[in-house]
A and B are shown apart, each in its own frame.
Chain A
Amino acid sequence: MTSAYHQLPPRSGLGLKAKHYRTVMDDSPETGWFEVHPENYMGAGGLPHRYLTEIHERYPLSMHGVGLSLGSADGIDDRHLNTLRELVHRYRPEALSEHLAWNRFDSVYVNDLLPVPYHEESLRVFADNIDKAQETLGRPIMIENPSVYVGFVDHACAEPEFLTALASRTGCGLLLDVNNVFVSACNLGFDPCTYIKAVPPGLVGEIHLSGHAIQLIQDTEVRIDDHGSPVKQPVWELYEFTLRHLGRYIPTLIEWDTDVPALHVLLAEAARADAVAAEAKRPAQQAAMA
């Protein structure tokens, strides 16, 4: 099945970490595609570009930005957008995505993906910034739902409705991070399945899965999206629920960014994602035959 948002193959992929460059080059592991943060390739030259070039010769590539700050009320930083455009022109990745978040205020960049309240003004800000980004980059991008730890009193709508409105205004696709849905649902107290059911299946082009940590804060359990452990069982279950809701396979990425283990551990997680996806397909086919 083709997608309007990417040319990734219908199987799981892995985040490409610098510590795995050599293993990937030497072993050419069986995986569908690799994803990188373009911000890690914003130096002019050297080994990172050499490895990325050689790895992209063998695998499809997804570029998943963390620095564009699409939620910034004062617009996009042209300098960053232009650097991103150069990278996109140089590598021509099979998928391109960013976040429903902001990480810059005035001239200061905070190295984190910060949330916004969902209301008419923030919708306009995101829509304007995404329009500009897509125009500059010359292609549609997918937008990822964030993991959040605080709620805003000004929220006027739920996240899936906000994302849907954004997609209809800008033509962007959605990158559905199932772990983030689960983390935010736990932290803000909503039902993750209700969230998933509100996502229009046709908009989703990519799925992310990762581990998270659990912290006790004043006897309240808070889930922290740290990408530092295996995918948790309830997130696997939500992934299967998501694929059943979407009614088709969506290229799925295993993210693991802190305490990165050996490559075979990531490959095992990816294999599990493929197994869950196969499981999600089965009853749907039986139902179709019945």
Chain B
Amino acid sequence: MNAYSLYALQRDFADALFDAEDDRILDHLTGDDAALKRKRLDIYRNNVFYSLTDALGDLYPVVRRLVGEEFFRATACAYLQRFPPRHAAMVHLGEEFPQFLQDFEHTRPLAYLPDVAGVELAWHRAYYARDAAPLEVTDLHGLPPQELAAGRFTLHPSLQLLNSVFPVLRIWQANQEDSAAEETIDLHSGGEAVCVCRPGYEVLMHRLGPGEYRFLHALRAEVCLGEALAAAQDLDPEFNASKYLAQCLTGGFFINIERNDHA
């Protein structure tokens, strides 16, 4: 039996990766030159932080573009120290990043940044969400109006809703890799609500009016169709119920309607 258990070795190795000052592991590595051993350990530390920062940058390319590569790398390192990965699969990496940007002292002044990150996280979640066939208009044919109004739509598993006081979708669109626009966006030109959905294999972004957001938000809370439409109209007189319902169906926002048999 070794005096130094494998568990202790892995603890010390992992601690050294996340804290360069922690060098308890060095005594257990071969070689007499402590500086050289530290540098060999740096190879692992660089591998870990570089690969994770790259993965985080792939998830948040717009945030990276907005703050610049160097600032992004420093922010990502601070984030990874605060929220080290809890899964081996990269699909779960970065879920706390929007919240972190809001709290981190160096990004706190960039008030719009967490919401832009929220759009990117929504896109990422939609991209990897469970596949599901959207409900078709024909699925609703023959349903009496009062039954339709009492029904509850099941939203598509990829559907995400966001509401920001900043023009987040315009910012997101202007900063896509293939966007050539050198548009200047006034941060105070009005907020935007966004619906992100992937009915097929392409993630689609929809800008929502206030009534439309209210409507989808109500459906998310499992409110029946009639009440959700009424809530949207109360908030937004311009909300056109039948037109928007048709748009939702075209957008593949629903996968099922649960009929209320007591209606």
Which A residues have a C-beta under 8 Å from some C-beta of B? 39-40, 42-50, 66-69, 71-74, 77, 80, 83, 102-112, 114, 116-117, 119-122, 125, 149-155, 187, 215, 217-218, 220, 222, 224
Contacts and interface: CB of A to CB of B under 8 A. Distances in A.
Contact of B1 (A68, A110, A121): A121
Contacts of B27: 153
A111 to B, nearest CB: 5
Contacts of B52: 111
B14 A154 contact: no
Given A45-B131, A45-B132, A108-B86, 5 more contacts: A42-B87, A45-B130, A67-B89, A72-B10, A121-B2
A73 B86 CA distance: 17
B43 A46 contact: no
Contacts of A107: 86
Contacts of A67: 88-89
B39 A218 contact: yes
B88 A153 contact: no
Contacts of B198: 46
Contact of A105 (B11, B29, B33): B11
A54 to B, nearest CB: 12
Contact of A109 (B7, B87, B201): B87
B9 A116 contact: yes
Contacts of A114: 10, 13, 44
B239 interface: no
A15 to B, nearest CB: 16
B242 to A, nearest CB: 31
B128 interface: yes
Contact of B6 (A44, A73, A83, A109): A73
Interface of B: 1-2, 4-7, 9-11, 13-14, 17, 27-31, 33, 35-37, 39-41, 43-44, 47-48, 51-52, 55, 84-91, 127-132, 157, 198, 201
A149 B48 contact: no
Contact of A45 (B48, B87, B128): B128
Given A108-B86, A121-B1, A217-B40, A151 B29 contact: yes
A154 B8 CA distance: 13
Of A40, A80, A108, A119, most B-chain CB atoms within 10 Å: A108
Given A40-B90, A66-B88, A112-B51, A47 B9 contact: no
B201 A121 contact: no
A117 B1 CA distance: 13
A220 B88 contact: no
A149 B86 contact: no
A42 B85 contact: no
B89 A83 contact: yes
Contacts of B157: 44-45
16 contacts: A42-B87, A50-B201, A73-B10, A105-B13, A109-B87, A109-B88, A112-B47, A114-B10, A117-B6, A117-B9, A121-B5, A121-B6, A151-B30, A152-B29, A154-B4, A218-B33
Contacts of A104: 88
A71 B7 CA distance: 10
Contacts of A220: 36
